[in-house]
Each structure stands twice: as C-alpha cells, then as structure tokens.
Structure 1
Amino acid sequence: VIDAPGHRDFIKNMITGTSQADCAILIIAGGTGEFEAGISKDGQTREHALLAFTLGVRQLIVAVNKMDSVKWSEDRFNEIVKETSTFIKKVGYNPKAVAFVPISGWHGDNMLEESSNLTWYKGWTKETKSGVVKGKTLLDAIDAIEPPARPVDKPLRLPL
C-alpha cells in the first residue's frame, strides 16, 4: 500500500508512489462542492486519475467518501459515478472494469463490512480478464485486484 496525499504540494510524492502501484484507489469526496472542485478542469481528482493511467496503472477502484455528509444519498452517489465514469473513460480507463464503492471513512461504513446506512447499495460489478467480479465493500474491491504478470525469468529491475 502506497499512500499519496491529495494535496497539490505532494504531486511529486504521488508520482513516485503511483509509478510502483498495481492498482490505484481514487478516493473522491462526495460532499456538495467538494466533488465538483476535485473533478473541475484543474481539480486534483482529475489530475490523479490522469497521472495514474499515464504511469501505467491499469486497475482502478473509485471510493466515494463522505457519504455520511450527503445523508447516504443514492442520487448523489449515482451522479458522482456517472460523471467520474465519463472522465476516467476519456483518460483511458474502462468504467466497466472499475469498482465504484460508496464509503464513509469517518464512520468506517462500507469499508470492511456492509453498511446498514447504504441499504439501497446493491454492490459493484466489474469486468476483468478472468470474468465478472462482484462485491460490496472497499475491502472486496481491494481483494479483487488482479496481480499483474511479473517477468520473473528476466533480470531484476529496481526503480530508483
């Protein structure tokens, strides 16, 4: 796990960490105004998704955080999924291969176990090389990451 802060001052750190990742978890703030700021033309959400794809990270999980701040709104979640799907498709990701998970980090909802606050949420589905995978929580999405083929028969390569 490589944690990269979402602040503009730490883009260099984000690039360093992301260049070694097998999968990116794009954590999007679901709060009113916060999502719009992140997805705007110069927003951090947009920049991080573009950098992850450019650096070769082909697997993506989108966690829509702060669902508690929008009263667990299904409409708000669906709006964010729709807009995010459109822009990650432009970046190069296939939205059908991305798990979109509503969470609340503050309360721990839907991170490890299903949340009683998200009764409307039926779970995520994503298409992978090995078939269709389904789950409900962020942990399920992390468990569904497919490890990339590693050229173990080749000489050792270390990033510097």
Structure 2
Amino acid sequence: AFTLGVRQLIVAVNKMDTTKWSEDRFNEIVKETSGFIKKVGYNPKTISFVPISGWHGDNMLEESTNMPWFKGWTKETKGGVVKGKTLL
C-alpha cells in the first residue's frame, strides 16, 4: 500500500471476542504489526490501532464495554495529534 501512494492507514485488530477481549493479546499484535509496518515504509506513530469485534460490533461505531482497558487511539499528523475511540 505504501509503495502505491497510500499514506494514511488504520489497523483494525479484529476478533477480539475470541481472545476474551485480552489487552495483552492486543498489545502483542500492535507490537508485531508495528515492526512490519515500519519495514514497508510507514511510521507506526502515524497509524491508528483499534481493537474490534466485527461479529459483535464492538468499537466499530460505539465504544465497547467489553474492552474498558482501551482508552482510545492516537496518531501523529502534520497538524498535531488526532484522537478517537472507535473505528468509524
């Protein structure tokens, strides 16, 4: 995607329901994915990572009560820091 000119990226970590909403598993995935993202040319600080469950709709449009540990995502932009809580 980076080599094709895509400069903005959001990583949705899906199927959090199958990990029983595990914060540790989410952090592990973010760490592993950040390394890969960096290798292909992205700055991980400019990427938003959001734990979701597509099946249950958690963190898709509204904040999930199943993941109280997730305080929201942040990413750095040229205009400053942007924050959010859900995927959309």
TM-score by length of 2: 0.98
Partner residue of 2:80 out of 131, 151, 157: 131
Q: Which has the higher helix share?
A: 1
Structure 2: how far apart are the matches of 1:94 and 1:60?
10
Give percent identity, aligned residues only.
88
Structure 1 stretches of 4+ with a deviation exceeding 2 A read: none
Q: Aligned pair 1:65/2:14, yes or no?
A: yes
Structure 2: how far apart are the matches of 1:110 and 1:73?
14
Q: Secondary structure at the match of 1:68?
A: helix
Read off the aligned partner of 1:101 and give its amino acid letter.
Answer: V
Q: Secondary structure at the match of 2:9?
A: strand
How do residues 59-138 of structure 1 correspond to structure 2 at under 5 angstroms?
Answer: 59-138=8-87
Q: Secondary structure at the match of 1:125?
A: strand
Q: Deviations over 1:3-61 (max 9, x none)?
A: xxxxxxxxxxxxxxxxxxxxxxxxxxxxxxxxxxxxxxxxxxxxxxxxx1111101110
TM-score by length of 1: 0.54
Read off the aligned partner of 1:74 and give its amino acid letter.
Answer: E
Structure 2: how far apart are the matches of 1:82 and 1:136?
19
Read off the aligned partner of 1:120 and give its amino acid letter.
Answer: W
Q: Secondary structure at the match of 1:138?
A: coil
The two structures, once aligned, show a CA RMSD in angstroms of 0.5
For structure 1, list consecutive stretches of 5 or more residues without a partner in the other structure. Answer: 1-51, 140-160
* Equivalent residues, number: 88
Read off the aligned partner of 2:7 and give its amino acid letter.
Answer: R
For structure 2, list consecutive stretches of 5 or more residues without a partner in the other structure. Answer: none
